[in-house]
Structure 1
Amino acid sequence: MMSFISAWCLVIISLCYTYVVAQLVPKGIRRMILFIPVFLYFFIVPLSLSTIHSIGITAFFICWLANFKLFLFALGRGPLSSNPKPLSLPIFLAVSCLPIKIHLIPKPTTSYSHGGNLLYYTIMVTLLVLMTKVYEYSTKLPEKAILTLYAIHMYLFLELILAATATLVRAMSGLDLEPQFNRPYLATSLQDFWGRRWNLAISGILRPTVYEPMVQLFPFLGANWSRAPAVFSTFVVSGLMHELIFFYLGGLMPDWKIMWFFFINGWFTTLEIAIKKKVNRKWRFSTGISRVLTFRFVMMTSLWMFFPVFKRVKIFEKTLEEYAYAGEIAAEIKKSIIASLL
């Protein structure tokens, strides 16, 4: 806990440094050079932590999101620069290192925005707790069943941690924040799943840092076909960042299965987009069939290449150990409170 607090204190100090630099140095190469020490520290900081939860959260929030946002900020682009007026320091800190994006124009509530739906998140927490009990019988379950549990666990955990982060920032700042997931299980295509439904914080930061610059690199292909290498390149960068995060989590050299997962999904997403342009949307599967095919493809490739890495680095075993340890601490605190009251 102390290493986690110390690391995040240094992160906040580093972000304050970038905020001051931006007030003194105009956007461009000079600002980028002055940000380099922060970039390097943010790539190193997960190595100073020791628990799965602290490493995972810090690697995702700081090593990935903050570095990418600061890279754009150095060039005068991205969520830290897109507002009509400069952000205040507290808002700058929140947007820099948390998976949130501020709405410049209030958007109407949509059917997938659960917002303050307490029942929805209560059900998700209950399912997450029940899953930790199911893991006790993991030795009796087939491997595919365990990997499927990993998939459900990851989605529930990400949904809850990102929603909690957004809720906390909303309560502290009063700002309206975008949802992080848009019911990914209802996706009707790979493009729909990866671009509009799954982890919108990541797709939102990869678009200006990778996709849009790559589109501009291939103007000779035309406005439509220049997007194909841009889409594929976005998946490649995402794969590399996932490999880095799993290196932090497990301390093992990558076996590149996750890279292959994003490589294959990127290839088929690019192919899907090309086919759509070719047929000009004149023919398509029904919504129900499209959802089944999309979900089946994502799950099949996930169980084949993505979730075995969880088992390789023993993420869920370590997670359960941390849950058990946290439960012991909570029990001790409870006993201490009861004893003091008596």
Structure 2
Amino acid sequence: MYTVSFIYVWGLVMVSLCYTFYVAKLVGRGTMRQILIFPVFLIFFIVPLLVSSIHLVCITAFFIAWLANFKIILFAFGRGPLYSNLSLPVFVAVSSLPIKIQLSPKPSTLQGSREGLLNYAKKFALLVIVTKIIEYSSKLPDKAVLTLYVMLHSYFTLEVILSTVSVVVRATTNLELEPQFNKPHMATSLQNFWGRRWNLMVTGILRPTVYEPMIQLLSSGGLSRNPSQYLAVFITFAVSGLMHVLIFFYIGRLRPDWKVMWFFLINGFCTSVEIAIKKNVKGRFPTAISRVLTIGFVMVTSWWLFFPEFKRCNLFERVFQEYVSIGAFAAGIKNIITTSLFSAYRS
């Protein structure tokens, strides 16, 4: 059932993207293209509601309802990572997946390959450790358990999925998967954490769709450069908050309690204040202290406002139920194959 609904939804997504591709061939950027593409925008907001699997709804909501929709918005205005002169397969891939066009691919080196394999090995080992720790969750504080669950499913699982897709993409095309994280634990400020280290796919799509247009709008309205930047940063966080609220709605199908929104508003306000302080005050904290303060602030606000949403959506119990179902299905297939081979051998 999960597979059928997922295939149906992504089939609808593929058809919609083909329609968008050919509309752009016939209509130049501007109002008419925006009107013709608008139905696709609505469809992409609806399709996550047609998926019931927790893993598949997360993928569909993030890749399609958020990233693909924002790319299509940019495309309607003739901006962003999508271009009319792309081939149809590349257009569909760039639209629906977190990938970017690599015009001048760097030749892979043995050293780079070794570092990549070592990096994946470290992540896999850490994933195993976290999973083992969760087995003793009844003996750990609630906040510690919640943090481990979020680390497992928001960071490591996504990293494993993207790493796997990256291997396939690089092997079959001239495209490169966008990195999702860049050592977030090494962040030295909120601006550094949110802008250059955490959830880079979101940062990369929010910058041209929200931040840069807001800078232009506020500056043209008479606001000076620095206040425009501070306000644009805050508005960008607000939009990110709304999209996270929407994704949690897809996951839990519950009325929002807006705690996640407050998480992003608080982090957006503090990031704007931090940027203002750095522009007007000379001197910096030592790197070690900056890292502790940055990660400490993000973790405290996460425990307070962000992490509880995972529990409210009953996310972890549903995830492990799916793991059990997948395991039972795989065991059933294995038994069928084993029985068939044994029967064939006897005959």
TM-score normalised by the chain length of structure 1: 0.92
How far 1:142 sits from its partner (Å)? 1.5
| Distance of aligned partners of 1:309 and 1:189 in 2 relative to their CA distance in 1, 3 Å threshold | same
Distance 1:236 1:157 in 2: 26
1:15 maps onto 2:17 in alignment: yes
Between structure 1 and structure 2, the one with the greater Rg is: 2
Contact 1:27 1:74 survives alignment (8 Å): yes
Return 294-303 or 327-336, whichever deviates more: 327-336
Which residue in the other structure is 2:120 paired with?
121
| Distance of aligned partners of 1:70 and 1:114 in 2 relative to their CA distance in 1, 3 Å threshold | farther
1:102 maps onto 2:114 in alignment: no
**1:157-214 deviations in whole A, cap 9, x for unaligned?**
2222222233322222133444221111111111011111111111000001000010
Distance 1:286 1:175 in 2: 39
Distance 1:332 1:138 in 2: 30
- What is the SS of the residue equivalent to 1:117? helix
Name the aligned partner's letter for residue 10 of structure 2.
W
Give aligned-pair identity as a percent.
61
**1:292-312 deviations in whole A, cap 9, x for unaligned?**
111111111111110111001
Which residue in the other structure is 1:251 paired with?
253
How far 1:147 sits from its partner (Å)? 1.7
Name the aligned partner's letter for residue 195 of structure 1.
G
Please list, as runs of the form range in 1=range in 2, the aligned pairs for 1:165-314 lying within 5 A after superposition.
165-219=165-219, 220-279=222-281, 282-314=282-314
Which residue in the other structure is 1:141 paired with?
140
Which residue in the other structure is 2:345 paired with?
none
State which of 75, 79, 82 in structure 2 corresponds to 1:80. Answer: 82
Distance 1:4 1:67 in 2: 18
Contact 1:235 1:262 survives alignment (8 Å): yes
Distance 2:174 2:284 in 1: 43
Contact 1:103 1:176 survives alignment (8 Å): yes
| Distance of aligned partners of 1:264 and 1:78 in 2 relative to their CA distance in 1, 3 Å threshold | same
Name the aligned partner's letter for residue 235 of structure 2.
S
Distance 1:108 1:286 in 2: 37
Distance 1:184 1:159 in 2: 13
Distance 2:55 2:315 in 1: 10
**1:85-131 deviations in whole A, cap 9, x for unaligned?**
8111111111101112223454699xxx8897234324433443554
Q: Which runs of 5+ in 2 are unaligned?
A: 343-347
Which residue in the other structure is 2:323 paired with?
323
**1:194-244 deviations in whole A, cap 9, x for unaligned?**
111111111000001000010011112323331111100100000000000
Contact 1:184 1:197 survives alignment (8 Å): yes
Distance 2:266 2:70 in 1: 24
| Distance of aligned partners of 1:147 and 1:254 in 2 relative to their CA distance in 1, 3 Å threshold | same
Which residue in the other structure is 1:45 paired with?
47
| Distance of aligned partners of 1:114 and 1:234 in 2 relative to their CA distance in 1, 3 Å threshold | farther
How far 1:5 sits from its partner (Å)? 0.5
Coordinate RMSD, CA, aligned: 2.1
TM-score normalised by the chain length of structure 2: 0.91
Distance 1:188 1:151 in 2: 22
1:93 maps onto 2:92 in alignment: yes
Name the aligned partner's letter for residue 25 of structure 2.
Q
How far 1:325 sits from its partner (Å)? 1.0
Distance 2:304 2:146 in 1: 9
Contact 1:16 1:93 survives alignment (8 Å): yes
- What is the SS of the residue equivalent to 1:191? helix
